[in-house]
Structure formats: structure tokens, C-alpha cells
Copies of this chain bind each other. A is one copy, B any other.
Amino acid sequence: MTTLNETHDTALTSWVTTANDDSTGFPIQNLPFAVFRKQGTQGAFRPGVAIGDRIVDLAALAKLNVFEGLAAQALNTCTGDSLNALMALGRDHWRALRLALSRALRTGSPLQAQIEPLLSAQADAEYTTPARIGDYTDFYISLHHATTIGKQFRPDNPLLPNYKWVPIGYHGRASSLGVNQAFPRPVGQTRPTAEGEAPQFGPCQRLDYELELGIFVGTGNAQGDRIALDQADEHVFGLCILNDWSARDIQAWEYQPLGPFLAKNFASTISPWIVTLEALEPFRTAFTRGAGEPQPLPYLSSDTNRARGAYDVRMEVLITTQASRAARHAPAHLSASNFSEAGYWTVAQMIAHHTVNGCNLQPGDLLGSGTLSGPQPSEAGSLLELSNGGKAPIALPWGEQRTFLEDGDQIIIRAECQKAGYPRIGFGESVGTVMPAR
């Protein structure tokens, strides 16, 4: 079991002084990973770690040869354009690297003079997908989302009998995952206007976002083996923000009997930064089911999972539009939710379920949580829910209203962990923009 260690000490400060208040969400207790380069250059992308408003260039740091042992081994994998090699090393290496980075970046570190020249401003950076994502699986862990959506697709049968037993998941598209995406509105088939007619065809009319968290697999499992529930955490590198864009009208027509396909695979936007599971340790919380809920089958059930299987991560969805940006309005709040309250299943349960049949996970694979709608209507993680299937337009503060997304709309999702007496642990944000259909 991972527990708190020196890197979580709230007294730690960094010689990068912007890390020492809660403004950036990247204090020395966080140290999230991304793959970046200077904006507008054609230079190679390379791994970096955030500290305050700066990024430590890990490829350059590796050349200094100032770390030792497992930390040096881990750092030496950070020279390419993805984090896959680091992810494949395993938890002992991740911990050693985090500890070495924490010591190197803290106030008074003798390495300050050597490392300072390797820092660059996040404001000048551009990012790419932090890992080569071999496979992307999307789960469906919010009971509230499943129930609300179920009512719209199957009014008489909203929650299917398997929901409270099976962490429902399906395979998504890895190729169209990215950071800071601007994508054309998808085109496709939608329901015929009358039974027996040809379907309609054209740009999606019910384009939506989905508020999710992404789970990056670190070490995988051999095909045929399974990962036990209480070992699952060791296999997870960290979490990011995920916006799983959805074309609701395309989905409604295509999804039976084999699930969503073109309704989802045109784009999925993650945040550039991966917050490691170790950085999230202070925000683990109990995961319990209500008295009336069935207890999971043994392979999905353990004392550890109940005691600390959930993560207290707050999320917020914001929108800007072409008009609001022109008028320089601040982004408008659409909803807020919390990972620990939204999930009917934990990260560990998703991993244990995914591999129970021998399916092999690989370093860099991404699991999506599914839309993280909370119990309250204001905590809904999609417009489909917030607008009651398009029937209740949402008023935006600058006078526009929305049921679904219009061209030029930009969705910003933020996430963070906060509790009294601990520095704010930020995830940065995922940003995606809807362009006109081609």
C-alpha cells in the first residue's frame, strides 16, 4: 500500500517560487508529467514535469547526470517523445524519480543552479499526447449518468440489470485522442424522420461533451494473466482530464447492437498533464456502497478498495463561444462534479475487471471513467443531461443559450484536489474547440 512520504510534506516549498502558492495547482507536492516543446518551433517533443508556472525539461535533465539509482534509470527513459518507457518501468522507479525531483526542486537544493537553465514557461509551451496510446477503453462508472441517459435512450428500462454488477466498458478509438483539439463537427447518418424512410445525413445536430477522467496504465499484464484488485494501483501511472465528445444524434441511430462507434471516435481531448497516482495519495477516500446496493463479486471486492479506493477530485466544465471570446467574457460555468461521488466503481475495479478474462493492458493504455455526473442535476457531465435531452436550453451569462454545441464553441474542463492544510493539486485543463463541418 502506498502511503504518504517525504514528497507529500506540506512544509516543502520550491525554489521555483510560483509553485509556492495555490495559483498554478503545480506545487512541489504535485509534479505532473507531460510531453511538450516550445510553441511554434518544429523541435522534438520531450517529457517535462510542471513546477509552478515552469516546466522542467526531463531530456535535458537526464543529460546532467545528477540523479542516481532507480531515479537515474527512470529519468534516462525520458528522452523520447512519449512517456511510455517511463510508464513501463513500474512503481518503484516512478517513486524514485518523484523523490529525486522533489529534492532537486525544493528550496535550498544544491542542484538549483544546474537545473534553473532547463526550465521554460508553460505559457510558451505546446503539448502533444503524453503517451503513445495503444488501446483506449471507456467505462461508464457513474450510476447517475447511466440512469439519466438510460431514461432518454430507453425510457422504460433506464438502468440495465447488469449495471450494478459489471463495470460496463467498451473499446474506444485511440488514433483520434489528442490534446488541445480543434476538430470539425462530425457528419453522419441519423434516424429517419419516419419508419421505413431512408436515414438523414449531414452535420451532427446534437454535439456534446462528456466530463471524464482518464487513467493512464503504467505497467501492463501478460495476455492470459489478470491483475488482482489489490494490485491494480501499482499498474496505474496517473490520471488526466478527458473530454469524450459525443454526437448524440449519430449515436442514437448507430449504437444498437454493438455500441457507440462514429458518435465517439472523431475526437477525444485529454489534458496535457498526467497527475501521478502518488501525487493523489493524500486525496484517497473511502469507497462505500449504500445499504441497499449489492456488494460486488469477490474479484471486485476488498477491504482496501472500500477503505481508500476512491479519489476526491473536483472537476468543472466551462464554455466559451465565438461571441463570448470576441467580447472577452470570462468562460461560463456549465457544471461541476466530483470523481469520488460520481463513480459507482473505482479505478482499481476497472483494472481488475478489464483483465479478469486475460485481456492484456500495456504501458500507455488509457481508460476513461465515463461521464462523471454527480447526484445533483447541476453536477451533470454532459449537455444531454443538463439540457434534458435538448428540451431545456441553458442560458449563458452573455445572453446566448445552448442545448447542444455550436460551431466555435470551446469546452474547457478543469480538475483539482483540495483539502484544508494541503497545497492545491491541479490537473491543468483540457481544451477543445468545435469547428464547422467540412
Binding site for B on A (CB under 8 A): 134-135, 137, 140, 150, 153-154, 160-162, 165-166, 168-176, 178, 183-184, 186-189, 192, 195, 198-199, 201, 204, 220, 223-226, 247, 250, 253-262, 265-267, 294, 297-299, 353-354, 356-362, 365, 435, 438
Q: How far is the CB of A289 from chain B (nearest CB, A)?
A: 14
Q: 7 A-B contacts, Cβ less than 8 Å apart?
A: A154-B257, A161-B192, A162-B189, A165-B199, A198-B294, A224-B435, A267-B358
CA–CA, A187 and B435, complex, Å: 44
Chain B residue numbers with a CB within 8 Å of A438 are 224-226, 358
Contacts A356-B187, A361-B175 given; does A153 touch B257 at CB 8 Å = yes
CA–CA, A198 and B140, complex, Å: 20
B175 in contact with A360 (CB, 8 Å): yes
Chain B residue numbers with a CB within 8 Å of A153 are 257
Q: How far is the CB of A6 from chain B (nearest CB, A)?
A: 36
Chain B residue numbers with a CB within 8 Å of A299 are 201
Contacts A165-B198, A166-B253, A168-B258 given; does A359 touch B173 at CB 8 Å = yes
CA–CA, A259 and B261, complex, Å: 10
B258 in contact with A174 (CB, 8 Å): no
New A-B contacts (19) at CB < 8 Å, excluding given A161-B195, A262-B356: A165-B198, A166-B189, A168-B254, A168-B257, A170-B171, A171-B172, A171-B261, A173-B359, A174-B174, A175-B360, A184-B358, A187-B358, A201-B297, A224-B435, A257-B259, A258-B259, A259-B259, A262-B353, A262-B357
Closest residue of chain B to A220, judged by CB?
A: B175
Indicate how many identical chains form the complex.
2
The interface centre, meaning the residue of A256, A257, A258, A259 with most chain B CB atoms within 10 A of its CB, is A257
CA–CA, A199 and B353, complex, Å: 14
Contacts A170-B171, A224-B184, A297-B199 given; does A359 touch B258 at CB 8 Å = no
CA–CA, A357 and B160, complex, Å: 29
CA–CA, A135 and B365, complex, Å: 12
Picked from B165, B170, B184, the residue with its CB within 8 Å of the CB of A258 is B170
Q: How far is the CB of A295 from chain B (nearest CB, A)?
A: 9
Closest residue of chain B to A358, judged by CB?
A: B266
